Every structure is written in C-alpha cells, then in structure tokens.
C-alpha cells in the first residue's frame, strides 16, 4: 500500500500520488469491491429480459413490448447518463456520499418495484430509482480500480467486470426459481435483499486513492474556442464517444429480446433451452471479460475492442437468420463472449485516449453518457420494429442492431488511425 509523503505538495488541481501499487491487498480489495458493483449494475441490467417476459404475461400484459422495454432502457440510460455528474463528484472527493446514496436508491427502487401494480409505478421504481442508484454505484467501479493499477490495469478491470456476467447468471436463476415458489413480487423482494448484502461489501472495502480535484484548469479569455475544445475533448476521444453511442444502440437489443425471440421458434427449440438462453449469453461473457483484458495489457485496449465489436456485430446479424437450437446457441455464445470483451476493455480505452487520471471520472462519465443515450434509443426502436414486422419483426430487429454495432466497429478503427496511425503499435 502506498503511503503518501507529507512533504509532497502537488498543485491544487492535480491529484498527484506515488505510482500505482499494481497489486497488494488494498489494490485487489478494490477489484473485489468493483466486482460486486458490476454484479449489481450491468449484472442487474442483463437480467431485464426475464422481467420483460414476466411483465408481458402478467400484470403489464396490456402494455406493448415496446412500452415494457422502456423500463429496462430507462434504467440502463439513467445508470449511464448519471455518471457524468457522479464522475465529477468522485473527482472532487465525494466517493462515500455517492456510493451510499446509490446503494439506497437501488435497493429502495427494487423494493418499490415489488409493490407496483401499474405501469407508471414500475417505470418510476425500476426505471428511474434503480437506474439512478445504479449509476451512482457504477462509476466508482470504473474509476477507483484504474487508479490502483497501471501495468496490469486491463487485467484488473477485466476481473472486476466479471461481476456483470456473474450477476447476469445469478439474478435470472434466482428470479426464475423464486417466481415458481413465491411469485414475482416476493422474488423481487428477495432480490433486493441480495442486492443490499452484496452492495455493502464495496462500501466496506473500497477506498479512493487520488486526492480530490479542488478546481478545474482555467483557460485564458484569449484562448481560441477550438483550442479549448481540443484540450477538453480530443478528436480521438470525441470519435470514440460517437462509436460508443452507435455500439450501445445495438449491443443490448438481443439481451432484452432473446426470451421473446426463443418463444417464436416453438418446437424447434427445447423448452429447457429457451428459458436458459440469457444465462448462456451471460456465462459466455465471463471468459470474454478476462482473457481479452489480459491480452489488452500486451497489445492495447483498442486492438481488442475493435475485433470484439466486429464479432458482436457479425453474431447479431447472423442471429437474424437463426432457425434452430444449434444456431441460436452459437450466436448467443459468440455475442456473449464479444460483449464481455467490450465491457472489459472500454475503461482502458478511455484511459489510453485521455491519460489524465485527475479527469478520469469526468471522461468515464462522458463515455457512459454516450452509452446511455444509445441504450435508451436502441431497445424501444427495436420494439417498434418488432410490432411493425408482421411476423418478420425479429429479422428487422437483429439487422438493425447488427448494422449499428458494425458501424461502431468501423468508427473505432478510425479512432485508432487518428490516435496512432496505421503502424503496428500497442494501442
């Protein structure tokens, strides 16, 4: 553990510290804490496919698929967009306030979801309250771990990101099991208690390492506007934000609609398989979150995220022509692995494009905001395509999603060229 010398006097706007420890008990405890934050943010979001199918066949059966998908999309959007504000709060030293309030909102929102009887109540509880809380606890998972590692940053973040996949396995299994024995409302309440218990772990073990940023760098009145923009939002990072926006329009559409799609295959798909496709996707994401992240420490995060995004786009496009169990499982495994790889290295890409750790919270927040807007747009549009499809809706849904993801991969290739050129270098 690094002990900062009292003789060090960094500038007020530069949270200087000794080099990251790159290991040790305290550093790996941050990874453990981030694991449980991911478990209760992306892991929770990856579970919404279960809620989508349950709501559409129970007390929200009068609502359209598109309307129900707005609940999950709003939850994901708020989880990401609130990171813009929370990232700046963390840069200024408000870690414990942000994390504590986020834990309360997440658990409170799930408890209120268990009491909801109308659409607007579910939208407010699960969409708004859980979404806001998830955003407040998600940003520390990305920011804190990155400050404790440099040489093994991608590996550490990849291990922390496995919490998303584990949560995406545990929560669907828990929900399905409890719905059969206790019904939906009590299943959600038990889920809320599990969330509370696992969220208290990061509150106990995580510690911010950087000094708070007391003020932002000022620019002189004579500075050209374009120079100021380039200083705060470099061109490679701006292009990456656009790529992330396109990526999240399409990437999570299959996670929301896989259960509904499986039901359309009827006898071609065994019932036991159709109910476990979401689990297969989340399980396949686990090696994707670890192995490519370890490789990224050697070849660079951009060198991993570009082929991973291409793979995700290809798998989604192939899904549009799936008609049997074997093809569906193959597409689910490929997409799960690719999505896990993307999630694991995205924070490392942000650090590579904008290496100032003192602004890490803000920059990660901007990336997550772009992701959130894309997520908000994607699933409801997919719902409209599905409703207008006249029996061919899922074909249009997966083509739309796949095209968006492939376009994001192409734009990420442009980011790499702008940043490092065409040479074979670590990027």
pLDDT value of position 249: 93
Specify if 262 maps to a domain: yes
Kindly tell me if the per-residue pLDDT of 6 is higher than 50: no
User: Can you point out the beta strands (E) in 40-158?
Assistant: none
pLDDT averaged over the chain? Answer: 81
Q: How many other CB atoms sit within 10 Å of the CB of residue 184?
A: 18
Question: Is the Cβ–Cβ distance between 54 and 179 less than 8 Å?
Answer: yes
Specify if 349 maps to a domain: yes
pLDDT value of position 222: 44
Specify if 38 maps to a domain: yes
Specify if 313 maps to a domain: yes
Question: Is the Cβ–Cβ distance between 169 and 279 less than 8 Å?
Answer: yes
pLDDT value of position 121: 93
| Structural tokens at position 343 | 């999630």
Q: Compute the distance between CA of residue 128 and CA of residue 116 in angstroms, rounded to an integer.
A: 13
Max Cα-Cα span within the chain: 72
Q: Per-residue pLDDT averaged across 362-389, rounded?
A: 82
Lowest mean pLDDT among 150-154, 169-173, 310-314: 150-154
Q: Compute the distance between CA of residue 308 and CA of residue 316 in angstroms, rounded to an integer.
A: 12
Q: How confident is the model at residue 196 (pLDDT cuts 50, 70, 90)?
A: very high
pLDDT value of position 274: 64
Q: Per-residue pLDDT averaged across 25-40, rounded?
A: 92
SS3 391: coil
How does pLDDT run across 96-119, given as a tens digit for each residue? Answer: 888 999 999 999 999 999 999 899
Sign of CA dihedral 258, 62, 372, 415: positive
Q: Per-residue pLDDT averaged across 346-366, rounded?
A: 77
Q: Which domain holds residue 336?
A: 25-212+228-420
pLDDT value of position 230: 54
Higher pLDDT, 2 or 56: 56
Higher pLDDT, 150 or 301: 301
pLDDT value of position 353: 86
Give the rounded percent of residues in the chain with a pLDDT score beyond 90.
28
pLDDT value of position 145: 84
Specify if 268 maps to a domain: yes
pLDDT value of position 157: 79
Q: How many other CB atoms sit within 10 Å of the CB of residue 343?
A: 24
Among 57, 53, 65, 46, smallest CA distance to 385 is for: 65
Specify if 217 maps to a domain: no
Q: How many domains does the chain have?
A: 1
Q: Per-residue pLDDT averaged across 1-18, rounded?
A: 42
Q: Compute the distance between CA of residue 200 and CA of residue 195 in angstroms, rounded to an integer.
A: 9
Highest-confidence segment of 225-239, 334-348, 387-401: 334-348
Q: How far apart are the first and last CA of the chain?
A: 29
Kindly tell me if the per-residue pLDDT of 397 is higher than 50: yes
pLDDT value of position 241: 93
| Structural tokens at position 181 | 């024995």
How does pLDDT run across 214-245, given as a tens digit for each residue? Answer: 554 444 444 444 454 455 678 889 999 999 99
pLDDT value of position 390: 62
Kindly tell me if the per-residue pLDDT of 176 is higher than 80: yes
Q: How confident is the model at residue 3 (pLDDT cuts 50, 70, 90)?
A: very low
Specify if 116 maps to a domain: yes
277-299 and 253-264 helices cross at what angle (nearest 10)?
150
How does pLDDT run across 37-87, given as a tens digit for each residue? Answer: 999 998 888 788 788 878 888 888 888 877 888 898 889 888 888 877 777
Q: Compute the distance between CA of residue 401 and CA of residue 263 in angstroms, rounded to an integer.
A: 20
* CATH code for position 73: 1.20.1250.20
Q: Per-residue pLDDT averaged across 270-277, rounded?
A: 68
- Our separate counts of H helices and E strands in the chain read 18, 0
Lowest mean pLDDT among 154-163, 225-234, 334-343, 355-364: 225-234
pLDDT value of position 123: 93
Q: Per-residue pLDDT averaged across 116-142, rounded?
A: 90
| Structural tokens at position 358 | 């003192």
Among 206, 208, 147, 198, smallest CA distance to 36 is for: 198
How does pLDDT run across 241-273, given as a tens digit for each residue? Answer: 999 999 999 998 888 777 777 777 766 666 666
Q: Compute the distance between CA of residue 198 and CA of residue 58 in angstroms, rounded to an integer.
A: 29
Specify if 232 maps to a domain: yes
């Amino acid at each position: 553990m690094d002990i900062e010398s009292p003789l060090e006097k960094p500038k007020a706007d530069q949270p200087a510290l000794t080099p990251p420890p790159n290991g040790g008990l305290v550093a790996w405890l941050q990874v453990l804490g981030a694991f449980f934050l991911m478990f209760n943010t992306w892991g929770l979001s990856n579970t919404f496919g279960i809620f989508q199918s349950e709501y559409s066949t129970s007390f929200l059966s009068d609502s359209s698929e598109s309307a129900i998908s707005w609940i999950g999309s709003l939850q994901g959007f708020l989880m990401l967009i609130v990171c813009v504000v929370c990232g700046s709060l963390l840069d200024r030293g408000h870690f414990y306030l942000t994390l504590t309030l986020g834990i309360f909102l997440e658990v409170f929102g799930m408890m209120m979801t268990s009491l909801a009887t109308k659409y607007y109540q579910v939208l407010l509880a699960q969409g708004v309250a859980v979404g806001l809380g998830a955003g407040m606890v998600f940003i520390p998972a990305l920011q804190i771990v990155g400050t404790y590692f440099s040489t093994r940053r991608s590996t550490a973040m990849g291990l922390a990101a496995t919490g998303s996949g584990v949560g995406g396995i545990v929560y669907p299994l828990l929900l399905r099991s409890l719905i059969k024995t206790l019904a939906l409302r009590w299943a959600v309440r038990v889920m809320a208690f599990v969330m509370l218990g696992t969220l208290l772990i990061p509150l106990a073990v995580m510690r911010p390492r950087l000094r708070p940023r007391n003020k932002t760098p000022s620019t002189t009145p004579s500075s050209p506007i374009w120079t100021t923009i380039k200083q705060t939002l470099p061109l490679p990072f701006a292009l990456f934000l656009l790529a992330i926006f396109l990526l999240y329009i399409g990437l999570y559409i299959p996670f929301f609609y896989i259960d509904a799609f499986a039901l359309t295959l009827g006898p071609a798909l065994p019932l036991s398989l159709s109910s476990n496709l979401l689990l297969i996707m989340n399980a396949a994401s686990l090696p994707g979150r670890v192995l490519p992240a370890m490789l990224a420490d050697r070849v660079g995060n951009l060198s991993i995220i570009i082929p991973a995004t291409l793979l995700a786009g290809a798998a989604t496009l192939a899904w549009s022509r799936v008609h049997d169990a074997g093809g569906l499982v193959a597409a689910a495994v490929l997409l799960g692995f690719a999505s896990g790889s993307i999630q694991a290295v995205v924070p490392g890409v942000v650090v590579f494009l904008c290496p100032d750790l003192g602004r890490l919270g803000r920059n990660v927040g901007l990336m997550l905001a772009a992701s959130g807007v894309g997520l908000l747009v994607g699933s409801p549009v997919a719902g409209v395509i599905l409703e207008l499809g006249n029996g061919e809706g899922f074909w249009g849904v997966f083509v739309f999603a796949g095209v968006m993801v492939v376009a994001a991969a192409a734009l990420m290739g442009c980011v790499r060229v702008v940043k490092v050129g065409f040479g074979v270098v670590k990027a």
